[in-house]
Amino acid sequence: MIYIAGMDDHADQIRKPRADAVRNRERVLEAAKTVFNAGGPEASLEAVAKRAGVGIGTLYRHFPTREDLYEAVYRREVEQLSELAEHLRSAKDPVDALRRWLRSAVEFVATKKGMSAALALTFQSSSELAAFSMDRLTKAIGSLLDRAVAAGQMRADISPEDLLRALIGMCYMHDQPGWQSSVLRMLDVFVDGLCIQTAAKAKVRSAKPAKPSAKRIR
């Protein structure tokens, strides 16, 4: 092996990543999100590259396999959802903040229509990804839930994990027709149920009623 003078000196010195590389990576992710959501997970990677305005080689350097790309797109969206929770922490009404976040989460699932199969595959090969997202989402819910509890507006015996599990369970049926409005309705009922009952609860609900006969959690 050849020894290069000064090698060790610079071994731990990290160079600032090139600006264009960072930019291109972001572009590809954005393009992939659009293309996959529209054309399903079978969509051509060349189409993604073209949409991102980069060469196919660039795409492959950043994401050596198709799964890598799926994973990165998904991870990014989970992070965005997590950041949304950060922002919502500064909202006035804690209960409303939680409600909004939950709705965004449902929307997130909805846009994943075509990707669900791909994600199932990816989750299988990388349980680290599953752990990461569970953790991130639990923390997001937790921060919103805690605030509502601290404000005395919600019962304290529900854990973030419980709520997340309920959310996922509800969304699990997301290939039935009309699932989305059904889930939104159930979430509203759920949040109502979480709330500590006061006179203020007579507040008007914005969601349109599904069926007049729909039972109300007491």
Partner DNA sequence: CGAAGATACGGAGGCGCCCTCCGCTTAACA
Partner DNA sequence: TGTTAAGCGGAGGGCGCCTCCGTATCTTCG
DSSP H helical segments within 40-173, as ranges?
45-52, 56-62, 66-88, 94-111, 116-125, 127-150, 160-171
Closest CA to 54 of 83, 28, 75: 28
Query: What would you measure as the largest C-alpha separation in the chain, in angstroms?
Result: 81
Q: Residue 123 in contact with residue 130, Cβ under 8 Å?
A: yes
HSE on the CB side for 44, CA within 13 Å?
6
Selection from its own copies, DNA, none that 218 binds (CB < 5 to 8 A by kind) is none
Does 132 interact with its own copies (rule: CB under 8 A)?
no
Decide: is 21 part of the binding site for DNA (CB under 7 A).
yes
Q: Which does 152 bind (CB under 5 to 8 A by kind): DNA, its own copies, none?
A: none
Q: State how far the alpha carbon of 209 is from the alpha carbons of 156, 162, 163, 167, 188, in Å.
A: 28, 26, 23, 20, 11
- Of these, 26, 61, 207, 210, which contacts DNA (CB under 7 A)? 61
Q: Does 180 bind its own copies (CB under 8 A)?
A: no
**Site residues (CB under 7 A) for DNA, limited to 22-51:** 24-25, 44-47
Residues 91-130: x/- map of binding to its own copies (CB under 8 A)?
-------------------------xxx-xx-xx--x---
Binding residues (CB under 7 A) for DNA: these are 13, 15-21, 24-25, 44-47, 53-58, 60-62, 64-66
Binding residues (CB under 8 A) for its own copies: these are 116-118, 120-121, 123-124, 127, 175-176
